[in-house]
Amino acid sequence: MSTVKENEDQIVVSDVDADGDGVAGLPAPVVHPESSEAGEHVGAATVLQATDVSVHYGDFLAVRDVNMAVPEKSITAMIGPSGCGKSTMLRTFNRMNDLIPSARVSGTVAYHGVDLYDGRIDPVEVRRRIGMVFQKPNPFPKSIFDNVAYGPRIAGTRKKSELNDIVEQSLIKAAIWDEVKDRLKTSATGMSGGQQQRLCIARAIASSPDVLLMDEPCSALDPIATGRIEELMQELKDEYTIVIVTHNMQQAARVSDGTAFFNAEVDPVSSQRTGELVEYSSTVKIFSNPDDERTENYITGRFG
Ligand SMILES: Nc1ncnc2c1ncn2[C@@H]1O[C@H](COP(=O)(O)OP(=O)(O)O)[C@@H](O)[C@H]1O
Ligand SMILES: [Mg+2]
């Protein structure tokens, strides 16, 4: 996926509010009465709703016809074998596929009921509200403080005391404040992998998001650092809606409330290997009594 540099450029280049009113047209998060499709959260508001979402890279159909609702303040896991379109699908939730020139998204993705792909929506604002944490921790080559202050500064926060507060609160929420409070001015690149990943979570939190998307956030970390991130996710879900891609089924079973199982099969006509959402339900159901035989085969380790 995109590198630090690309992300940075993208934020800078497109940080232009066309009509100058500072508003990108996204609604404030509000509570909606509708229920989700992930059984456990009946009654929870839907934050993200994908309807008939397909993504092409050029002529290649990577993932097809996904229908999936993400309930608020919960952890939704996306699992499935490599190449089935999990990352592709995750990126549709905050328009990160916009950064891949060949990618084309069809269908709709609604965020609190608003079409994220509407021409009037500012993708930079989308990525502020819906933050992303990547597989490989990608702190900017700046100080710890400047990493966390990056988003707020771009958004126009200049006052030192305000920035200090945001940085401290974000680092506290990301469970890393105690480890770094005495070295905020040192480079972020000198931290351990687990610390860097929590810093990246703090950096996302500093922009006051509503949703955190995490693409295999622990796959570059050791078991202890992984455990800390998993604990942190449980704390964060009181305040944020989390969607995590993981190829680690035990992790999905441990941390998530709802699980979406993706799979890819070769289409006999096109010969393309296209991903689809096979089954989406509460995590308990997916791992104990799934409806689809393919889910059963995957979770019991018969393929993947
Ligand atoms: N930037 C890209 N350009 C072309 N094809 C891509 C790109 N990213 C992913 N793909 C292809 O799309 C399919 C789904 O990939 P991906 O979403 O990364 O799957 P997963 O995250 O489940 O491993 C794969 O066949 C992959 O090779
Ligand atoms: Mg992936």
Q: Are strands 258-266 and 273-282 parallel, antiparallel or unpaired?
A: antiparallel
Q: What is the pLDDT of residue 167?
A: 98
Identify the structural domains of the chain with CATH numbers, from first to last: 4-299 (3.40.50.300)
Checking if the pLDDT of 180 tops 90, the result is yes
Determine the Cα–Cα distance for residues 63 and 76; give it in Å rounded to an integer: 18
**pLDDT tens digits, residue range 202-218?**
999 999 999 999 999 99
Q: What residue type is assigned to position 61 of the chain?
A: L
Site to substitute for ligand 1 among 60, 82, 88, 104, most atoms within 8 A of C-beta: 88
Q: What share of the chain is helix, strand, coil (3-state, %, to 5)?
A: 35, 25, 40
Within 6 Å (CB) of ligand 1, which residues are found? 57, 62, 80, 82-88, 100, 102, 275
DSSP of 61-124: EEEEEEEEEEESSSEEEEE-STTSSHHHHHHHTTTGGGGSTTEEEEEEEEETTEETTSTTS-HH
- Ligand 1 atom with the shortest distance to the CA of 84: 22
Ligand with an atom nearest the CA of residue 1 = 1
Whole-number Å distance, alpha carbon 85 to ligand 1 midpoint, is: 6
Whole-number Å distance, alpha carbon 82 to ligand 2 midpoint, is: 7
Whole-number Å distance, alpha carbon 215 to ligand 2 midpoint, is: 7
Checking if the pLDDT of 2 tops 90, the result is no
**pLDDT tens digits, residue range 27-43?**
765 444 343 344 445 57
> Does residue 133 sit in helix, strand or coil?
strand
Q: In which band, very low, low, confident or very high, does the pLDDT at 302 lie, cut at 50, 70 and 90? A: confident
Whole-number Å distance, alpha carbon 279 to ligand 1 midpoint, is: 20
Ligand with an atom nearest the CA of residue 97 = 1
Cα distances from 12 to residues 94, 106, 153, 154, 157, in angstroms, run 17, 27, 11, 8, 15
Q: In a 10 Å sphere around its CB, with 0-12 CB exposed, 13-18 middle and 19+ buried, how is residue 49 labelled?
A: buried
Q: In a 10 Å sphere around its CB, with 0-12 CB exposed, 13-18 middle and 19+ buried, how is residue 266 labelled?
A: exposed
Tell me the average pLDDT of the chain. Answer: 88
User: Are 12 and 258 in contact, with CB atoms under 8 Å apart?
Assistant: no
Cα distances from 84 to residues 3, 167, 225, in angstroms, run 22, 37, 27
**pLDDT tens digits, residue range 206-254?**
999 999 999 999 999 999 999 999 999 999 999 999 999 998 999 999 9
